[in-house]
């Protein structure tokens, strides 16, 4: 994450720490540029598609996306993470990782093709069958490109990842817009996903200096699976947590509310993608390289959490407080029901930014089983509350259930898992105190603007500007947290 980028009160020692700081700083900057470019571009394309494709077609795509996301989480059984964190020569593990990744991706793709009719029928969306089968090709692509992707992450080559993602986005956008204009609906989104994944994989292979052919060592495989399977199980639970709401909304409320919910969920996760992903792209590798220094390990996490809070809180508050004028102005009045869920889902998005940082912290420490248990508890607690929320208050009730479970159950669970490393709730609370206070001030200012200004567009512009200025005034003393990172391009 921000490990080694900013001073943490414990200066790096030895000859490797300055080099690590330089690599991490460069990687975060490239990843931030990549993420922001992708997110702003996706918002623009999303607005266009929302006007070209009906909510019902978005609902069909959402059903297929549920299947893909859940299965993708275990497509390479977590073994590629071992390449990122290992201290051993990569060539010892890479051939076996390649074999396991390709084999699991192909097998899961076959299962998706065979099981698509059953799942689509269970979701009361039989027209999603073919879309699911098409999108299963992404699993094969993901398995084949798992090793190149892990090697780029290990070497902090987010500049190469930027080229891969940008190339993929350009091609994928061209595909989806052309097909949407031709009236392909959900199929245009599915073909775009395949094109995007394929182009990204090709570029990552081009940037990987050394190719690793499939091979197999039984001893290495046992070690890889012992570490990777709990992480894969946790990833499966993560995607179960993030997708079980789609299943319940689709089965209980129908395809059209599912389309509204998908739009709201994607908007609420904008801060996660824009701010969390750049940090996560280097966090596992960076944490793994400082985990032998317990004090630096824990203080780096607290500093990274504060840096994330500084940029995440204002984005989340603006999305929540201005949900209705934002949706009406950008997407049109027919998408207005999505605002009901958006305001509540934003809280979930903000908390996910912090929880994903904690996930990488525990993974770098080798606590894969703790991660698995936390996400099992999360899923068990979530399902009944989601069903209750859907029946009582539609998509808004589903969104509320998500946030309640995270606040009441999952945040305390992570704090318990942090205890052996000296991370305490008081220290973490102090790290994010000023951004949180700034967020509260933003809510008050934005809410006041809603009462004083008429018209969706003016409420959006005036409320957003006034709330942003208020936040900047509160967090101004912490400006060096962000500016220091930007200045260290050559450090």
**In terms of Cα–Cα distance, which of 166, 214, 124 is closest to 30?**
166
Q: How much is the pLDDT for 3?
A: 35
Pair of tokens at residue 23: 């690599």
CA dihedral 85, 91, 95, 97 (to 10 degrees): 0
The reported pLDDT for the residue numbered 360 is: 80
Residue 424 DSSP label: -
Confidence (pLDDT) at 244: 79
Of the CA atoms within 13 Å of residue 293, those in its CB half-sphere come to: 20
| Residue among 351, 349, 347, 344 nearest 397 (CA) | 344
Neighbours of 11 (CB within 10 A): 11
From the list 153, 171, 174, 164, the residue with the least C-alpha distance to 200 is 164
> What are the C-alpha distances in Å from 289 to residues 14, 86, 170, 283?
13, 10, 35, 10
pLDDT of residue 413: 92
pLDDT in tens, 378-397: 888 998 999 899 889 888 89
Interhelix angle for 137-144 vs 186-207, to 10°?
A: 10
Helix, strand, coil percentages, rounded to 5, for the chain: 85, 0, 15
* Predicted pLDDT at 8: 33
Looking at residue 22, what is its pLDDT? 61
Return per-residue pLDDT of the chain as tens, 491 residues. 333 333 333 333 333 455 655 665 565 566 666 566 666 666 666 666 666 666 667 667 777 776 666 666 555 555 566 666 666 666 777 777 778 778 878 888 888 888 888 878 777 778 888 888 888 888 888 878 877 777 777 676 777 777 888 888 888 888 888 888 887 777 888 888 888 888 988 888 888 777 777 777 676 667 666 665 666 666 667 666 777 787 788 778 877 888 788 888 888 877 776 766 666 666 666 666 666 666 766 777 877 788 888 888 888 888 888 888 888 888 878 888 888 888 888 888 888 888 888 888 887 777 778 888 888 898 889 989 998 998 898 888 998 998 899 999 999 999 998 888 777 888 888 888 899 999 999 989 988 887 888 877 888 888 889 988 999 999 888 777 665 554 544 44
- How far apart are alpha carbons 242 and 240 in whole angstroms? 5
Q: What angle do CA 258, 48, 326 make, to 5 degrees?
A: 70
| Token output for 67 | 């299947």
Give 163-179 pLDDT, tens digit per residue: 888 888 888 888 888 88
Integer Cα distance of 113 and 130 in angstroms: 9
């Amino acid at each position: 994450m921000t490990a080694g980028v900013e001073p943490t009160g414990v200066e790096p020692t030895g000859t490797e720490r300055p080099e690590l700081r330089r690599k991490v700083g460069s990687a975060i900057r490239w990843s931030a540029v990549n993420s922001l470019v992708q997110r702003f571009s996706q918002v623009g394309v999303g607005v266009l598609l929302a006007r070209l494709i009906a909510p019902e077609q978005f609902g069909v795509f959402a059903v297929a996306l549920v299947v893909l996301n859940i299965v993708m989480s275990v497509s390479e059984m977590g073994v590629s993470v071992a390449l990122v964190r290992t201290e051993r020569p990569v060539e010892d593990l890479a051939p076996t990782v390649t074999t396991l990744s390709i084999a699991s991706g192909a097998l899961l793709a076959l299962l998706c093709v065979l099981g698509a009719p059953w799942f689509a029928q269970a979701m009361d969306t039989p027209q999603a069958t073919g879309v699911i089968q098409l999108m299963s090709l992404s699993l094969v692509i993901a398995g084949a490109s798992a090793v190149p992707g892990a090697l780029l992450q290990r070497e902090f080559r987010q500049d190469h990842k930027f080229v891969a993602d940008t190339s993929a986005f350009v091609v994928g956008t061209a595909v989806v817009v052309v097909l949407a204009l031709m009236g392909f609906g959900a199929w245009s989104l599915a073909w775009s996903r395949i094109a995007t994944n394929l182009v990204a994989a090709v570029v990552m292979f081009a940037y990987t200096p050394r190719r690793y052919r499939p091979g197999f060592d039984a001893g290495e495989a046992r070690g890889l699976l012992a570490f990777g399977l709990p992480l894969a199980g946790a990833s499966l639970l993560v995607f179960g947590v993030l997708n079980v709401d789609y299943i319940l909304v689709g089965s209980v409320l129908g395809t059209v509310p599912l389309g509204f919910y998908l739009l709201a969920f994607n908007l609420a996760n904008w801060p996660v993608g824009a701010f969390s992903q750049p940090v996560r792209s280097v966090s596992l590798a960076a944490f793994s390289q400082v985990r032998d220094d317990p004090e630096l390990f824990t203080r780096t996490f607290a500093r990274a959490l504060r840096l994330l809070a500084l940029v995440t809180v204002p984005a989340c508050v603006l999305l929540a407080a201005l949900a209705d004028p934002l949706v009406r102005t950008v997407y049109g009045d027919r998408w207005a029901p999505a605002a009901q869920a958006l305001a509540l889902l934003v809280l979930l998005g903000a908390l996910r930014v912090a929880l994903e940082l904690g996930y990488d912290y525990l993974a770098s420490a080798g606590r894969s089983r703790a991660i698995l248990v936390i996400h099992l508890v999360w899923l068990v607690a979530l399902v009944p509350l989601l069903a209750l929320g859907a029946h009582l208050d539609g998509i808004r009730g589903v969104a509320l259930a998500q946030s309640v479970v995270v606040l009441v159950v999952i945040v305390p669970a992570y704090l318990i898992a942090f205890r052996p490393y000296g991370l305490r709730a008081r220290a973490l609370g102090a790290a994010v105190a000023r951004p949180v206070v700034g967020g509260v001030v933003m809510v008050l200012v934005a809410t006041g603007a809603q009462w004083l200004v008429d018209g969706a567009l003016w409420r959006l512009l005036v409320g957003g500007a006034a709330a942003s200025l208020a936040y900047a005034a509160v967090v101004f003393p912490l400006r060096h947290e962000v500016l220091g990172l930007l200045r260290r391009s050559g450090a």
